[in-house]
Amino acid sequence: MDTLTIRRPDDWHLHLRDGAMMRAVLPETTRHFARAIIMPNLVPPVVTGADAADYRDRILSAKPRGSKFQPLMTLYLTEETQVGDLRAAAEIGLITAVKLYPAGATTNSASGVKDFTKVKRVLENMAQIGLPLLVHGEVTDPDIDIFDREAVFIDRVLDPIRRDIPGLRVVMEHVTTSDAVDYVRAGGPDLAATITTHHLVINRNHILAGGIRPHYYCLPVAKRETHRRALVAAATGTDTAFFLGTDSAPHTDTAKLQPCGCAGCFTAPNTLSILTEVFEQHGALDRLENFTSLNGPAFYRLPANDDTITLRKGEPVSYPAKIDTDDGPVTVFDPGMPLHWRVIED
Ligand code: NCD
Ligand code: ZN
């Protein structure tokens, strides 16, 4: 098989940033993706319906001409989030989900939640109206080893919340462990997970062995190889609870290459080539469409896209090592293997 036609994909977890950075990275997503869940961790974050409406307008006006790309907006949950504002934004279709960052867990998460009892009423309302909660699943307790933070989050935070608020629909974002995969598999129809492109490719050795590679540093940090294999099995398998959220998270090289560099891998330009390569390597090309284009809409109760894209296999495809932005260059994720599939038709 050397061509593959699939329903047009969506990205269920994307950082577009704002201003010059957004203008530079947005076309990398709109080229192939129909929709994306837009992360709200701007500075300051997108916390109210009005913030989300303004941010959506800025995205729509930065969109390449003729593009039908649809940004699906999210609110950043804080201890001050107002039920009325959130419900109103959901009712008019302005927001598609709400994002929970434990305070301090990742880039721009200082306004996140410290005391989960303070957001209980909001979560109960979300369960009532079926609005998904997207979870950055890592504890921030400095006593917990960074490689254990996702597994501990499930036991200490996520499982208690889900028991406390039956019917709450949850997406565990960018899962990185077999613990999370097992938890999601057993979680029933109200629980799903996104998996990133880069976590299907790298393990922690890629970041740390033979020299430190800041462009592979993201949060949650990649774990050991057994976990990467569990993610590949989940993504390429038949369980519809797993779908693509690239977590493409651009930072300038200056921000990445610091004594204390930012977390995030920028995968928007080459994601589809990488995913197709990985699925082919695992004999699962026939399940790529489920992961990129069908399972996500099904969980979000949205129709799959009507149109398709076609990928063709050939000589290795090259992508630019960096893209230029008015804020400075941003390095594109290097999968460390030749990529043979390219999108040929849109
Ligand atoms: C994201 C970012 O840069 O905004 N970084 C990352 O490493 N994934 C934040 C996030 O999703 O955790
Ligand atoms: Zn993210």
Query: What DSSP string describes 317-329?
Result: P---SEE--TT--
Give every CB contact of residue 114 below 8 A, 6+ residues apart in sequence. Answer: 79, 102, 103
Ligand 1 atom nearest to CA at 13: 11
Pocket of ligand 1 (CB under 6 A): 15, 41, 106-107, 136, 218-219, 247, 249, 263-264
Selection from 38, 42, 31, 218 nearest residue 134 by Cα: 38
Separation CA 162–CA 287 (nearest Å): 30
Separation CA 297–CA 290 (nearest Å): 10
> Is domain 3-345 annotated with CATH 3.90.1530.10?
no
Residue 251 vs residues 23, 200, 285, 286, 330: alpha-carbon distances, Å: 14, 21, 31, 34, 6
Each residue's pLDDT, cut to its tens digit, for the chain (346 residues) gives 799 999 999 999 999 999 999 999 999 999 999 999 999 999 999 999 999 999 999 999 999 999 999 999 999 999 999 999 999 999 999 999 999 999 887 777 888 898 888 999 999 999 999 999 999 999 999 999 999 999 999 999 999 999 999 999 999 999 999 999 999 999 999 999 999 999 999 999 999 999 999 999 999 999 999 999 999 999 999 999 999 999 999 999 999 999 999 999 999 999 999 999 999 999 999 999 999 999 999 999 999 999 999 999 999 999 999 999 999 999 999 999 999 999 997 6
Return the number of other C-beta atoms located less than 10 Å from residue 254's C-beta: 12
The neighbouring-strand residues paired with 330 are 323
Residue 293 vs residues 57, 103, 238, 297, 300: alpha-carbon distances, Å: 25, 32, 14, 7, 12
Provide the residues around ligand 2 (an ion) whose CB is within 5 A.
247
Which residue is catalytic, options 159, 247, 286, 327? 247
Is 247 labeled as catalytic in the residue annotation?
yes
The neighbouring-strand residues paired with 235 are none
Separation CA 22–CA 247 (nearest Å): 15
How far apart are the CA of 43 and the centre of ligand 2, in A? 14
- Best probe residue, ligand 1, of 149, 247, 256, 333 (max atoms within 8 Å of C-beta): 247
Sign (positive or negative) of CA dihedral 135, 189, 177, 302? negative
How far apart are the CA of 14 and the centre of ligand 2, in A? 6
Looking up tokens 């989050």, which residue turns up?
153
How far apart are the CA of 39 and the centre of ligand 2, in A? 7
- Which sequence spans correspond to the domains of the chain? 3-345
Judge whether 139 and 157 are in contact, CB under 8 Å: yes
Sign (positive or negative) of CA dihedral 295, 112, 250, 178? negative
Phi, psi at 223, each rounded to 5°: -105, -165
Read off the tokens for 331.
Answer: 């390095």
